[in-house]
Amino acid sequence: MKVVVQRVSNASVTVDGQLVSSIKKGLCILVGLSRDDTDKDLEYMSRKVLNLRVFEAADGKRWACGVRDSGLEVLCVSQFTLYGKLQGNKPDFRRAMGGVEARQLYQRFVDRLRDEYSSEKVKDGLFAAYMQVSIQNDGPVTITLESPSGGGADGSADSAEPS
């Protein structure tokens, strides 16, 4: 499982000109699922995302608080293209999880975030829709994370924390 986390001032998703979801200050999370991902990956990633310290504390200390600590919002957007690999100049998405299975796993991820944090503060886009995502990146701050199983061809994964 791979996510791109952006600290945002606001973010929204529209489909066919209709607003689907929007948040104010918080995190916009682009979520990619690989063929190898399981519920264990969801557990790992939900914990990392909710505890990622990219916000200032009330005393002004930088990189001190996570979204949960600050009571901010989260917008999740499914993005299978995160597992695209170039074959010449054309992207190949074979590493991405298939539609039906991905829809179920993605929904379990969103549900997990809601259960662990707040059902009112966690929003999402429209799975498998052609979406327009508007992101007002704050900072800008963008962090990429990958679960330990990684779903990568070589099994490697990025980590946001030192070993």
User: Which residues are tagged catalytic?
Assistant: 79-81
Letter for the amino acid at 56?
E
Rg of the chain taking only CA atoms, in angstroms: 15
Residue 55 class from Cβ within 10 Å (0-12 exposed, 13-18 middle, 19+ buried)?
buried
- Please say whether the beta carbons of 81 and 91 come within 8 A: yes
| Integer Cα distance of 147 and 41 in angstroms | 6
Residue whose entry in the numeric block shows the structure tokens 């399981």: 38
77-94 as b/e: b if 16+ CB within 10 A: bbbbebbbeeeeeeeeee
- Please say whether the beta carbons of 78 and 108 come within 8 A: no
